Structure 1
Amino acid sequence: PGLGTAATAQTCVERALALDVPLVLDADALNVLAAHPDLRTAARRRTAPTLATPHPGEAARLLSSDIAAVQADRLAAALKLASELRAHVVLKGAGSVLAHPDGSWDINASGGPTLASAGTGDVLAGVLGAMLAQELDAKTALRYAVCLHGAAADTLVARGIGPIGLAASELADAARELINATASCGG
């Protein structure tokens, strides 16, 4: 069911923000951050990389805005989040926007509506965590994870799996296959 947003969740997020390691914030961790300005301040003060993976609803809460405003200018919303949180951000959705604290940005068009199903964002957060564990820098890790996530979805659709009814576990399996195929090519 997720972390939730109760006091226990707030404590977990507070403790995670205090760690001097790369940190991926997703789902309820973002909702907790949105509800507690002191935690957003703690995120800004971190020296280790922070990465955030909001969908438009989570982004709207973090920006004290609404989904329509976020969707009207997705690039501006992602850049504002990256600046305000001092984080590497992927604003998920059609044309996922990657925004970085240095003001740089990218758009990733892969994946499409296939990724609008339960659990696929969790797969992205997991892939991102795995890239960081491999000691990739935060910007590279975010680009690679988002690209791999979308490419895995596109691969499944090309095989006739999805876009409707795609399971998150299938997406994780396809991502693993793509990583292994690349590794076997020396890449």
Structure 2
Amino acid sequence: MADTVTLVKKLPVLKKRSPTMHKGEAGRLFCLAGSVGMVGAAALASRAALRCGAGLVRVGMPWRLAAVVAGRDPNVMTSALPETEDGTISAMSPAKILKQAEGSDVMLIGPGLSQNPQTVQAVINLLPQVKQKLVIDADGLNAIAHDECAVLKDIDRTKTLPVLTPHPGEMLRLLGKEYDGASLKDGDEHRRQVAVSFAKKHRVVLVLKGYHTIVTDGLRAYINETGNPGMAKAGMGDVLSGAISAFICQGFDAFEAACLGAHVHGLAGDLVCARMGEIGMIATDVMEELPEAARRLQSEKA
């Protein structure tokens, strides 16, 4: 790794809460997620955020799906948004999204949104207007890639850097045609170099998921060592993006929150694996183990 990049090995401290703490101090998250056929992504991300300590979570999604999520999880609030004929968020949504997100500390954009052209346009139009701290995952990343990353330069960085959470396939799309095409699975050193370069160029915190997930802001890098092959299942990324969003809600900066999220997410997966093995574990198992993973991290730092 380049000499200018500091390899971080120590995680931030998860402090015990004050007895007088209220939900506003734990942070408010607006989660823009879900479409017909991918309601689960919204449910996983929003509940994971609550399991990692966010004080309040509101999910913005196509209007026909809002009641589904509300009925599925009474812990989250919902906002019904204008939708396309396909049941995805429409290009007319940004104004309502911004209004519904007022008072939120963090906005998570992407889980299960779809790549419908109207939805892609909605994300591209929305991003420069968001004043909340940002986490961008899944189809939020695909929308950015469709725009050849041009919209990244217009994102508000007043409060903190935006967090991007691609898996290797999404990362290749973000890198675009100029990338040499080498696999992002071929060794940690190459992946680190690619991640650091991208984060530095675009002024983001990048979470490049995979075996030994890499977190970097272009100046620092953290290599996560928790997690296991049983986590190679649909929905795990939604759980991770919710976890990272929750830690930002609680006051950690983007890089710290991404490191914590990656570690706690992987540790939760390891706890599940120890109980039931790798084969049958699913994203909801990991999501429900997040509080215990966070508790163990607190105990280690006590």
Q: TM-score, normalised by structure 2?
A: 0.56
> Does residue 1:80 correspond to 2:80, yes or no?
no
**Mapped partners of 1:84, 1:148: distance in 2:** 28
How far 1:129 moved relative to its partner?
A: 0.8
How far 1:46 moved relative to its partner?
A: 3.3
Residues 126 and 181 of structure 1, relative CA distance in 2, 3 Å threshold: same
Counterpart position of 2:130:
19
Counterpart position of 2:216:
99
**Mapped partners of 1:124, 1:186: distance in 2:** 22
Residues 69 and 182 of structure 1, relative CA distance in 2, 3 Å threshold: closer
1:11-43 deviation line (CA, Å, top 9, x unaligned)? 234313421221111001111101103313324
How far 1:183 moved relative to its partner?
A: 5.3
Tell me if the contact between 2:265 and 2:290 (Cα under 8 Å) persists in the aligned partners: yes
**Mapped partners of 2:298, 2:267: distance in 1:** 15
Counterpart position of 2:290:
175
Identity in percent: 34
Larger Rg, first or second structure (1 or 2): 2
Q: 1:118 aligns with which of 226, 230, 234?
A: 234
Gaps of 5+ in 1: none
Higher relative contact order (CA 8 A, sep 6+): 2
- Which amino acid counterpart does residue 168 of structure 1 have in structure 2? A
> Does residue 1:70 correspond to 2:170, yes or no?
no
How many residues are treated as equivalent by the alignment?
184
> Does residue 1:139 correspond to 2:261, yes or no?
no
Counterpart position of 1:9:
120
Higher helix share: 1
1:127-156 deviation line (CA, Å, top 9, x unaligned)? 011111111111111111100011111111
How far 1:7 moved relative to its partner?
A: 2.4
SS of residue in 2 equivalent to 1:69: coil
Q: TM-score, normalised by structure 1?
A: 0.88
Residues 184 and 41 of structure 1, relative CA distance in 2, 3 Å threshold: closer
SS of residue in 2 equivalent to 1:122: helix
Counterpart position of 2:277:
162
Residues 68 and 141 of structure 1, relative CA distance in 2, 3 Å threshold: same
Tell me if the contact between 1:17 and 1:23 (Cα under 8 Å) persists in the aligned partners: no
How far 1:71 moved relative to its partner?
A: 2.8
Counterpart position of 1:130:
246
**Mapped partners of 1:125, 1:31: distance in 2:** 15
Residues 164 and 116 of structure 1, relative CA distance in 2, 3 Å threshold: same
